[in-house]
Amino acid sequence: MKKVYASAAEALDGLLFDGMFIAAGGFGLCGIPELLLSAIKDAGTKDLTFASNNAGVDDFGIGILLQTKQVKKMISSYVGENAEFMRQYLSGELELEFNPQGTLAERMRAGGCGIPGFYTKTGVGTVIAEGKEHKDFDGQTYIMEKGIFADLSIVKAWKADTTGNLIFRKTARNFNPPAAMCGKVCVVEVEEIVQPGELDPDHIHLPGIYVNRIIQGEHEKRIEQRTTRKTA
């Protein structure tokens, strides 16, 4: 199976449709599938639902799709650092489903493993638990959360081989692997593609069975919060 494509637009060809559900990797500005998000913006696909830890910032990450009003709903755990995200939510233009970060990651992982739901103590007694099934185990109350099954996963990795085995770099490993797992189709952008056998099998973070399409590209290295101190 051919997995390596020449560009983000080519890799997404035939996969996008209005109203689709997309799981996107990344945390803050780290590990964001920026090339694929830009291609989705150029394609004009609209009424999108995104499951992602956050929406980047106003001019980067999912934020660029908020600017063009292509996003209908966000399933997220953090809305800071993005003024347009907050504006649309507070004005009622954007639907938002808040998830605790661990719950969101587990919902993605569960979907990737074919698990339709699971119980967690996180959120019990808060607005997160409203309308959800409650169940007691050993005297403790849990709420049921549903696994995420997305139409498409878009993620960023550091290296891949041509069969789709992936290695993530440092913090980019947090939401990208579970996001990659839970989509019907997974498209990955990487900094480097190598031949099979060049990656140490013990260093593989996500096996190629989850990956359908890969592109290689140049990526911007942004700093989300820059803190400096005065020199003496």
- CA 12, CA 116: separation in Å to the nearest integer? 27
Q: What DSSP state is assigned to residue 224? A: S
Contact of 77 with 99, CB cutoff 8 Å = yes
pLDDT value, residue 164: 97
pLDDT value, residue 4: 98
pLDDT value, residue 1: 78
- CA 155, CA 145: separation in Å to the nearest integer? 23
pLDDT value, residue 81: 76
Highest mean pLDDT of the ranges 18-22, 74-78, 223-227: 18-22
Fold of 8-116+149-216: Glutaconate Coenzyme A-transferase (3.40.1080)
Residue 211 identity (one-letter amino acid) = V
If we measure between CA atoms, which residue out of 190, 180, 179 comes closest to residue 218?
190
Nearest 5 degrees, angle CA 196-CA 197-CA 200?
125
The answer, yes or no, to whether residue 62 has pLDDT greater than 90, is yes
List, in order, residues 6 or more apart from 122 with CB less than 8 Å away. 100, 102, 103, 128
85 — pLDDT class (breaks 50, 70, 90): confident
**Parallel, antiparallel or unpaired: strands 95-98 and 71-76:** parallel
Q: What is the pTM of this model?
A: 0.92
Q: What is the mean pLDDT of residues 147-175?
A: 96
The answer, yes or no, to whether residue 158 has pLDDT greater than 90, is yes
Give residue-wise pLDDT tens across range 173-225: 999 999 999 999 999 999 999 999 999 999 999 999 999 999 998 887 777 67
What region, left, alpha or beta, does residue 19 occupy, with left being phi > 0 and alpha being psi -120 to 50 degrees? Answer: left
Indicate the domain borders of the chain: 8-116+149-216
